[in-house]
Structures are given as structure tokens and as C-alpha cells.
Amino acid sequence: MYSFESRIRYSECDETGSLSIRGMIDYLQDCSTFHAIELGLGPEHMRRNHYSWLVAAWQIEIEGLPALGETITTGTWCPGLRRSQAVRCFTITSSSGTVLVRADSLWFVFDTQKGMPIRVPPSQLAYVSGEPRIDLPPTRRRAQVEGPFVELAPIVVSERLLDTNRHVNNANYIQMALDGAAHADGYHIPHRIYAQYRSMALLGDTIHPRLYGTAGDRTVGLMDKRGNPYAIVNLERWRDTVHKR
């Protein structure tokens, strides 16, 4: 396992004084990036070799979120690679060793010159460790949304939503889903987040959020103008509302 230690900053907290969901996902993403850099496979290596790792699906289980000033350790490992896909697992633990967050994710390699997924290059075998996959239910590869929904205000993709790949960062889709669910139910801390990514939203695109389900188990479809999903995010909540917007 690769890991790094950090202290929760004020800028990473929500209005409750604890690490925000967006901040938590950023820790997971940063950990995978630091792992790549540690192995000599970071962004510069990807740029020179015209490839990028993109996430296809997240499953994130939240037992608690650290408060301002607390020290945490974020860890990641890759239990295995397939021909065109990798599994990457994560944990965030407190200074006392309590596991606060566990996550399982599916990734694929994207050829940035050809604009298409490719087989995992042999160089990426450096990620594989002997550790088993994290003990979570199977991560859903494909999710469907159906039934009645509420159409929410459209979101035009601006520069602030993009990452170095020039498309909407995966954490921003989850934040859009959280905002959409809060519109109906108030703000909750989900116990589990499932996110599946279907296509890339680019600068100037318009995302049309659709809210499905009932309070306690919401799904948000983040759609293009034709009703095809950029991403689908399912939020399974704790019973208690943390705070209302």
C-alpha cells in the first residue's frame, strides 16, 4: 500500500467543520496521483507517452469524516490489472487507526492521441501489490436510471470544473449529485456513494441533472441534452440530517 499523512485544513471543511465530501474524494484522487509519481508513472510520464488513467466507477463507504485539524492517513493499492481495466482500493484512517472511509474503484487507460481506451501497458504492472481487494460489495459496472424524475437546473461546464485532462473531474459530478439531492432533501452525509461515468463533459457543454428516488436513497442522472448520461450517482444516506441548506 502507498499512503500519505495529512492534517485536515479549514479550506477542506464544510459548514459543519468536518472534511467535506468533495474534500474526501480529492484525498482519494491525490493519493492515487502521488502513488503514480512515487513509481515514476505520474502526469509527466503519462504526457510523454500519450495516455491517461480515467475512472469508470467509484464505490465509497463513509463511516465518518474527520474534523478540522485532525490527522489522517490516506492509502491506496492496486490488487490487480486486467487487459483493459484496473482495480484500485483506498482507505482513509484516523490517527488512532479507525477506518473512516473505504473505497473501491475501476479505472481504464485512455490513449490521448487516438482518443480511445487501450489495453493496460506493461509498465503499469508496477502498481500491482499482493494485497487483496478491499472488503466491499462488488462495484457496479453499469447503472440504469428509470422511473419518474425531477429535472433540476442545468449546469454549463466552466473552466473551474475541468481537470488536466480538459474534461469535468469525476469529483465534480459527485458534488453535482450531492447538490441535486440537497435541493430536495436537505444536506445529508451519504453512507455509500456509487458513481458510474459514461462520457466526458467538456468546456461549454450543458449538464442536465435529473433527480430520481425518494429521500434516503437518491440517484442523480447527469445527462446531456439528448438524455444520455455523462454520469450516474447513487447516494445511500444515513437516517439523520446533518444540516439543512
138-186 tens-digit pLDDT: 888 777 788 899 999 999 999 999 988 888 999 999 999 999 998 877 7
Residue 189: which pLDDT band, with cuts at 50, 70 and 90? confident
Domains and CATH numbers, the chain: 2-127 (3.10.129.10), 149-236 (3.10.129.10)
Which letter, b or e, does each residue of 21-36 get, where b requires 16 or more Cβ atoms within 10 Å of its Cβ?
A: bebbbbbbbebbebbb
Look-up: residue for cell 483493459? Answer: 84
User: What span, in angstroms and rounded, lies between the C-alpha atoms of 234 and 194?
Assistant: 5
Mean of pLDDT over the chain: 92
User: What pLDDT, on a 0 to 100 scale, did the predictor assign at position 241?
Assistant: 43
Cβ atoms 171, 25 nearer than 8 A = yes
Q: Which residues contact 84 (CB under 8 A, 6 or more apart)?
A: 108, 109, 117, 118, 119, 120
- Residue 44 neighbours by CB distance under 10 Å: 11
Mean pLDDT to the nearest integer, 67-92: 95
pTM of the full predicted structure?
A: 0.91
User: What pLDDT, on a 0 to 100 scale, did the predictor assign at position 242?
Assistant: 42
Residue 239: which pLDDT band, with cuts at 50, 70 and 90? very low
